[in-house]
Amino acid sequence: MSDLSSPSYPHPLCSTCRPPQLPYHDLILRRFTESIRNRKNWTKLLKNRRRMSKLIQKAAYEDACAFSRGSAMDIICPVWDGEDVRFVIEELEGCAGYVEMLREGGCLIEPDVEGVWRCDGVDEELRRRLEEGWW
């Protein structure tokens, strides 16, 4: 049996027990996929290529503007490339397949980012109790 106080099991409130900092590039891609998954009926949205293209273009432009803000010249530096677009589409499509399989099986919750599970339409009393941390 292992000792729970060992370095391999740090206390969650310990200052050294922090998730690794993600590079800016990874953060913007994660933020985009999260924004898509937070939309109602997001799995159907993925099948609308024109709408997805517009959302990706908008996010890429906003991220480039945010990244370039404060530069000496008025130059917008792109931070997305074709590989990034393929990555987010493949990630979302893979997740959508899993979510649709769960839904077909009657599961009302689905995975979100950061290992969190979510569900639309949670009873308000249950939501309040979960937020307060008691059953």
Domain ranges of the chain: 24-107
Sorting pLDDT into bands at 50, 70 and 90, what band is 13? low
Q: Check pLDDT > 60 for residue 37.
A: yes
23 CB-near residues (< 8 Å, 6+ apart): none
Average pLDDT over residues 99-120: 80
CB atoms within 10 A of CB 34: 12
* Averaged pLDDT, 28-57: 92
Strand 110-111 versus strand 117-118 pairing type? antiparallel
Dihedral sign of CA atoms 114, 125, 110, 51 in order: negative
Q: What is the CA radius of gyration of the chain?
A: 19
Give me the pLDDT at residue 1, please.
46
Whether 7 shows a pLDDT value over 80: the answer reads no
Percent of the chain with pLDDT over 70: 78
Q: Please, which pLDDT band fits residue 67 given cuts at 50, 70 and 90?
A: confident
Question: DSSP 3-state assignment of 118?
Answer: strand
Which one-letter DSSP state was computed for residue 135?
-
